[in-house]
Amino acid sequence: MYSPEQTAKFSEFIENGDLHTITLTIYYMDLFIRTPAPVRFEQLIGGGDDNTGQTINGWYDYRIVISGENLADHRDLINQIINTELIPVDNESFVNARLHYVFEHVDYGEMFNFLAFGGGDTIFINGVEVEHNSIFYDMVVPFLPANAIETIERYLNNMRLRSE
């Protein structure tokens, strides 16, 4: 469960350069793969059970875990995403989970998370549905393989064309 205190602590860790206790975990499923229904968050990351007692395997194409030492070069970008103004949406939509990342602290747990996509052109930051902002995709680009980066760039270009 998200709390503003966790994000404040996260911001404090980043400002102090105390990244060694933080990890970033990214879950990515191709943005353009068609599925019979929207992908639920639990389906993307896996875990839980399928009502028969069987554990659900994640539907992600890539699961990448980045240690705090490898995040040091990206401190400015992390500060940007923490401090980006969020504009909540009036009408909540459904989740079609394709990209999720979470920053976690060894002692405090989850500190910040991102989930794309809502039913429209929205994203979820710490569980709150907000208007699309491409800065949040920039966080994963240094860590994903080339084919995933190309897909994200194509999606963001489509978003730019729609907004013009």
CB within 8 Å of 64: residues ≥ 6 apart? 25, 26, 28, 143, 144
Tell me how far CA of residue 45 lies from CA of 49, 63, 77, 121, 156, in angstroms.
12, 8, 24, 21, 23
> Cβ distance 45 to 65 under 8 Å?
no
Q: What is the mean pLDDT of residues 143-158?
A: 93
Kindly indicate the confidence band of residue 3, based on its pLDDT and cuts at 50, 70 and 90: low
Q: Give the integer Cα–Cα distance in Å for 147 and 142.
A: 12
Interval 89-143: pLDDT, tens? 888 788 899 999 999 998 889 999 999 986 667 899 998 899 989 999 999 999 9
Instruction: Please tell me the pTM assigned to this model.
Output: 0.89
Q: pLDDT (tens digit, 9 = 90+) per residue, 58-84?
A: 899 999 999 999 998 999 999 999 889
Helix boundaries (H) for the chain: 4-15, 41-45, 75-83, 135-138, 146-163
